[in-house]
Structures are given as C-alpha cells and as structure tokens.
Amino acid sequence: MSDQLTVVYANPENLFMAGYSVVGTVVLTAHKMIRVKQLYIEVKCDANTGWVNKASDKIYESSENYMTEKIDMGVVNVTLPPGKHGYPFRCAIGTNCPSSFEGEYGSVRYATRVVLATSEDPSVTLVVPFTVLARVNLGNMPSAKRPIEAKDNTDFTCCCVPFGRVKTTINLPRSGFLIGEEVPIRMRISNESRTKIDMCRFMFVITARSRARSRYENAEDTKLREYIIEQKDAPSVPPRCVRLIDDCTLKIPSKAVPTFEGRIIGLTYLLRFTANPGIEVEIPIIIATSDTEERHQILSDEGFDEGIQEDTSIVYC
C-alpha cells in the first residue's frame, strides 16, 4: 500500500508521565484519493516475563496488562483526497501504571497500535512505542526522608591466625532520592588489619525481579538480575589507618527507572560499597520521580511540543 501511516507524539522524546495523558497525532499520508472504511487506535501497556530453565528445559512465562484503551478516530467510510491528514488523540495513563522497562527476563512496554481499513486494503497496522515514567512520590513516604546508616565488621584470618578487623560505616541523609539527584555519601573506614584496603568503589545497583509460571505445570519461578547504573571509585585505606570520606557524591542517572513492585516484575535499588579484600556494604534506597504532586505536574508538562500542528502540510481533522 502506497499510503503511509505515522504517529507523532506531542513529546519529541516520546516520554509521558503516569497519571496524565499520552498525546499525539495519527498522520495518514495519501498519495492518491482513497476510501477509508475505518481508522482507530489502541493504547496498551503490557508486562511480560519469560525464560527457559536450562536444567529442566521448562518454559516459564507470564504477562500482565496495565491498560488497554481503544479510540475510534471518527473516520468511517470517508473518501480522502491526496495529502497528509492528521487525527489528534489523547489517552489517559493510569496513576498506578509502572515505568517502561527492558530487562533480560522481563519488560514493561507501552505502544500505540493504529489500525486502518481502506477499500484497497482491509487492514493496515502500525505499532509505535512510547515511554512512561511512573509516579513515585517521596512525599507519601515519611520513612524515606530519615537518615540511614549501614555498618559492617570484616575479620581477616590466615591459617586460623587473626589478621585484624576492618570496620565500615556508611551514612546517607535519607533513603529516598529523586531521579537526577546528587546523593551525598559519608563513610568511615577503620582498617585495623595489616592489609591495605584498595579497589574501593561506590555503585548504584538496580535489581530486577521477574516472576513467571511454567507453561505446562502449576509451578512458579523467579529470576533476579542486577544492573549497575552508576559507580565511582574511592580512595584506598592503608593498614592500621582510619579514613573518613565526607565529600563523595554519586548521581542518580536522569534515565533511571523509579522503584516499582508489581505482580510479575519488581525493581529495587541499593547503594553498594565494595573493596578488596572481600568487603561489601549495602544500603537499600528508593528512587522516585518527585517529592510533591506539584512536581509531578511540572514533569508531565516538560518537553511537550503542541507546535506539532504548525506543519501546514497536514490537514487536521
């Protein structure tokens, strides 16, 4: 078919906020006069998990639908002249819808499916994905605003002979942070051993939990996959020495996915400190999109380009 279908979203980055609306225009480019029998769209969000257990060859898969909205574009048995024809649409995204996510064992995907039926072709389908950022509000989590501390004592031995102890204390001003925020980290390491503590590193780690059921049996399995989204090296600690680090910051990436817990997919975060030999300290944290509802409104409006209709070659219907 020579006629062309496209979807142009109001946000150039195809990014929208849960609790608000996905806004766009279906553009039908007709190279000759055509008879349109029907034109409609479906806006969907589906979570899917799946994998094959290598030991048993069992297939695990599950799915969960978060939204399905069908919108009739009001074009039924209409003859269109050659040219570009635009059909604006707006579809509400549920407040509790999760963020878009792509992982090894699971995904959360949003898309607009356009279906066009003409006298020449009974069905032409176009699927155009878009991205959604979930509403995670720190203002609703009082505990996430409290300071948090993690301690660890590591004892070193060689042939059952004590080599000393390393005491590590990490402090954060709170456990909840916003996407794009600089996180101040304070740490004290007391190296009472005769071993140099090196290869010190802070990192933000996201853990994706994917749950699925066996295709043929009433059995369920869970996969965990870690992703390091940001990291920074820290100074080493000589033997019999105490080091205080109070000027270290680590930024939450601007494209981080907020914390989320669903039936088949969950996303959690932690700050992890590792050092050689064998030191590891972790602090669970929450990643949110805002700390007020007003901030969510601002985020939902950022990047929108209502000027899409400035394209004078498109006839808007």
Kindly report which listed range (96-110, 112-126, 179-193) carries the lowest average pLDDT score: 112-126
Q: What's the rounded mean pLDDT across residues 16-29?
A: 93
For the entire predicted model, the pTM comes to: 0.86
Under DSSP, is residue 246 helix (H, G, I), strand (E, B) or coil?
strand
Q: Are 67 and 94 in contact (CB under 8 A)?
A: yes
Using alpha carbons only, give the angle 165, 171, 175 rounded to the nearest 5 degrees.
Answer: 135
Q: For 43-90, what is each residue's pLDDT tens digit?
A: 999 999 999 988 888 999 999 999 999 999 988 999 989 999 999 999
Q: Render pLDDT for 196-209 as a digit per residue (tens, 0 to 9).
A: 999 999 999 999 99
Note whether 59 and 134 are within 8 A (CB): no
Given a contact cutoff of 8 angstroms between Cβ atoms, the answer to whether 24 and 89 are in contact is yes
What pLDDT was estimated at residue 139? 86
* Res. 300: pLDDT tops 70: no
At position 29, the amino acid (one-letter code) is T
Which domains does the chain carry? 4-135+295-316 (2.60.40.640), 138-288 (2.60.40.640)
* pLDDT greater than 60 at residue 304: no
